[in-house]
Structure 1
């Protein structure tokens, strides 16, 4: 599947009413790509995915699965039937879990007769600092070493890419391959607050670092003019 470098709008809303009230502002925007996360999916379920697809919107379903391999495979079998473009697991779940996730995803998409989603693995959350890794996770490796390890593990286990800070993209591509996807949250315009993110970059910086796609939430959804904010990010990204 050819991969386009998208700006993915994180739909961090409570319900479909808020979602479509927001998206109505983008009715003239072509090739819209959005992220559906835990909050929205757990409330609305698969029907929200069908409604988004009906509008021609591509979906990144970000549920960050992390469980025993069999459970993750069966969950991915269900998600593979939903005709979404990307799904996620935690790389920390291990090689067997990632392999089984890919197996379930392919089985599900084959049953539904749809293109399989890209399987992406979470390395370290962009809200995590190196100090937190050491004191809370008892990980003695550096943040960079941890991300590199998870990226290589994910690739060798069949994942199509990773979710990571754009700051780590050059290292990830060197450690894996140029076609291994790096999708990056923690994106802010230079004038924005960083909120709870620890490792943030601007769209222009992410492009130079080799990002394959950006996940942007509050910089767009909380903007006074979301469409203008989206266009500004798109302009920076495509320069």
Structure 2
């Protein structure tokens, strides 16, 4: 796919199989890397993990917003300080709000109280922004409310992208690429619609056409 893709996402499945060497290979080939490991641990551990990811040269990484303010603060501090020390651009630190596989019922089961998904996303986004995160990961449904609440410069990374209106998988809160772009998404994350397609390159070009690339 080459430069047709801005960032290549490496999630926990690929990380477990291939580890940091895969990141190094992508970067050596001139590809940008989005390290989507959703760090969530005590602040000192996350600080070390983010520092290591920054040293690898990733351009964007994720932490779990529900890890709390201190944890996210440790992550943003580690990214900034490590980047300064090694003379490299700081990676974007984005906080995962509510997974796109979750709806209100599932969220209630997790938290123990009933709350609209959008309200939870916005609250977590404000918390992330207050401690220096560059943006959040949220479903396409929350793009406009997030931009309104946190401002246009706050980065919104959007998974849950599907090419058709009725998804046949576990994404519950989704939009098409065109809809997400029109709503103001800064990055769209697309996996299965490309790699499960009969012709992945054609699928990618269809997505690029939808978002005007």
Q: Is the 8 A contact 2:160 2:171 kept in 1?
A: yes
* TM-score scaled by length of structure 2: 0.95
Q: How many residues align?
A: 213
Unaligned runs of 5+ in 1: 1-25
In structure 2, the CA distance between the partners of 1:30 and 1:204, relative to structure 1 (3 Å rule), is closer
Report the alpha carbon displacement of residue 191 of structure 1 after superposing the two structures with TM: 6.7
Q: Give me the whole-angstrom Cα distance separating, in 2, the residues matched to 1:237 and 1:72.
A: 34
1:49 corresponding residue in structure 2: 23
Q: Is the 8 A contact 1:79 1:108 kept in 2?
A: no
Residue deviations 1:61-94 (CA, integer Å, cap 9, x gap): 0000011111111111111101111000000111
Q: Give me the whole-angstrom Cα distance separating, in 2, the residues matched to 1:96 and 1:30.
A: 37
Q: Identify the structure with bigger relative contact order (alpha carbons < 8 Å, sequence gap 6+).
A: 1
* TM-score scaled by length of structure 1: 0.85
Report the alpha carbon displacement of residue 210 of structure 1 after superposing the two structures with TM: 1.0
Q: Give me the whole-angstrom Cα distance separating, in 2, the residues matched to 1:170 and 1:80.
A: 30
Q: Give me the whole-angstrom Cα distance separating, in 1, the residues matched to 2:21 and 2:166.
A: 33
2:169 corresponding residue in structure 1: 195
2:186 corresponding residue in structure 1: 212
Q: Give me the whole-angstrom Cα distance separating, in 1, the residues matched to 2:167 and 2:117.
A: 23
1:160 corresponding residue in structure 2: 134
Q: Give me the whole-angstrom Cα distance separating, in 1, the residues matched to 2:167 and 2:119.
A: 28
SS in 2 for 1:144: helix
Report the alpha carbon displacement of residue 208 of structure 1 after superposing the two structures with TM: 1.5
Unaligned runs of 5+ in 2: none
Q: Give me the whole-angstrom Cα distance separating, in 2, the residues matched to 1:194 and 1:187.
A: 12
Residue deviations 1:173-225 (CA, integer Å, cap 9, x gap): 11111100011000010177441111111001101211111000010001111
Q: Is the 8 A contact 1:188 1:194 kept in 2?
A: no
Report the alpha carbon displacement of residue 104 of structure 1 after superposing the two structures with TM: 1.1
SS in 1 for 2:119: helix
Moved more, 120-129 or 47-56: 47-56
1:183 corresponding residue in structure 2: 157
1:10 corresponding residue in structure 2: none
